[in-house]
Amino acid sequence: MEINKIHQHQGSGPSISLLQTIGDRAESDNMGRHEHERSVHYTSFYQRFFDYSSSSSLISTRFIGLCVLVFIYYITYGYLQELMFTLDGFDNTAWFLTCYQFLVYAVLSFIHLGISGLEQRRISYASYILLASLTVTTMGLSNYAVAYLNYPTQVMFKCCKLIPVLIGGILIQKKTFNRYDVAAAFCMSIGLIFFTLADSKVQPNFNLYGVIIICSALVADAAIGNYQEKIMKEYHVPNVEIVFYSFLFGFGFVLIGLLITNNFFSSLHFWNMHPVPTYGYGLIFSIFGYLGIDIVLTLIKEYGALICVTVTTCRKAITIILSFTLFSKPFVF
C-alpha cells in the first residue's frame, strides 16, 4: 500500500506537470488565437482605412497636401487677378491678358515637358483642339466677366461650377450622384441668387451681360473637368502634356481673335505704358495659375472632377472673404 502510494505520488508529479504544461499551452494558444484574431481585426481595419484613404478618402496625407497647394496657388492667383483690374483702363485688355497667360502656360509646360522627357503624344490633335477651345472659353470669359461684375460675385458664380459639373458628369461620363450632391447644388444655387441680387443693388456698374458671360464660362468649365477626367483615365495622359497642347492651341486661338477684332495692338500699347502692373503682375499671376492647374489635374486624375470642384469651391470661399478684406467694396448683410 505504501508502495502504491509512493508510485501514485511519483506518477502524479509528471502527470500534474504534464497537465499543467498542456493547460498552459492551451491557454497560451487560446490567448495567442485571440491576439491573432485581434491583430487580424486591427490589421484589416487599418488596411481598409489606409486603402480607403489612399484611393478615395479625403483624409489621406497626399490629399490634404494637394488641397493646401490649391489654396496657396489660387488664392495668390485670385488676388493678383483682382489687383490688375484695379488699374484704370485694364478692363479693355482682358482678352490680351488671357493671350499673355496662355503664352506663359505654353512656355512653362514646354520646359516641363523637356525636363520630364515626354516626347510621345498620347491623344489626337482633334481632342486637344476641342480641349483648347473649351479652355479659351472658360478662362477668357472669366477674365472678361471681371469688367462687368463685382469680383466676389464673379467668384461666387464660379463656385457654382458644381452644378454644371454634376450635369456634365451625367451626360459625358454617365455617372450617378447621390442626394447629398444634389442638395449641395441646390444650396449653392440659393446662395448664388442672394449674392447676385445683393450685387445688383450695391454695385454701380452691375451688368446683366456679365452674368451671361460668366454663365457661359461655367458651362465650358464643367465640360473641361469631365472631359479631362475621361481622357486621363482612358489614355493615361500626363498633366503636362494636356497643359502644353491645350494652351498652345489656345494661345493661337486667342491671338487670332485679337488680331481679327483689332484689339491686339491697342492692348499692347496700353500694357507697354504700364509694364509693372501688366507684364509684371501678369507673369506672377500666370505662374501661380500654371502651378494651380497642375495640382487641379492631379486631383481630377486621382479623385475625380466632382471632388476637385469641391476643393476649389472651398478655396473660392476664402478668396471671397479676402476680396472684401483687401479690396474695399460695398456689401450688404
Q: Above 90 in pLDDT, residue 302?
A: no
Is 121's pLDDT higher than 80? yes
Say what percent of the chain tops pLDDT 90.
28
More confident residue, 323 or 211: 211
Q: Please, what is the average pLDDT of the chain?
A: 77
CA angle 327, 332, 333 (to 5 degrees): 120
* 22-26, 177-181, 290-294: segment of lowest average pLDDT: 22-26
Q: Which amino acid is at 221?
A: D
Which of 74, 67, 128 lies closest to 252, judged by CA?
128
Q: What is the mean pLDDT of residues 309-332?
A: 73
Query: What's the pLDDT tens digit per position in 245-287?
Result: 999 999 999 999 999 999 999 999 999 999 999 999 999 999 9
21 exposure class (CB count in 10 Å sphere: 0-12, 13-18, 19+): exposed
Residue 16: how many CA atoms within 13 Å on its side-chain side?
A: 6
CA 236 – CA 172 distance, rounded (Å): 18
For 162-175, the DSSP string reads HHHHHHHHHHHS--
User: What local confidence, expressed as pLDDT, does residue 103 receive?
Assistant: 96
Q: Which of 307, 309, 305 is nearest to 317 (CA)?
A: 309
Q: Which residue has the higher pLDDT, 310 or 252?
A: 252
Q: How confident is the model at residue 212 (pLDDT cuts 50, 70, 90)?
A: confident
Confidence check: pLDDT of 303 > 70:
yes
At 206 the pLDDT is 58
pLDDT value at 320 more than 90: no
User: 18-44: per-residue pLDDT in tens?
Assistant: 445 545 554 555 555 544 444 444 333
Query: Between residues 207 and 298, which one has the greater pLDDT?
Result: 298
pLDDT, residue 266, reads: 94
Do the beta carbons of residue 105 and residue 290 sit within 8 Å? yes
pLDDT at residue 328 in the model? 66
Residue predicted with more confidence, 1 or 274: 274
Kindly state the cell numbers that stand for 216: 457661359
Distances (CA, A) of 309 to 52, 132, 137, 162: 20, 20, 18, 6
- Give how far the C-alpha of residue 289 lies from the chain's centroid of Cα atoms, to the nearest Å: 12
Q: What is the mean pLDDT of residues 73-99?
A: 90
- Assess whether pLDDT exceeds 50 at residue 187: yes
Does 209 have pLDDT greater than 70?
yes
DSSP letter at 206 equals -
Amino acid at 231: I
* pTM value surpassing 0.75: no
Give pLDDT, residue 82: 84
SS3 203: coil
**Which of 25-34, 86-95, 125-134, 276-285 bottoms out in mean pLDDT, i.e. has the lowest?**
25-34
Tell me if 136 sits within 8 A of 250, measured CB to CB. Answer: yes
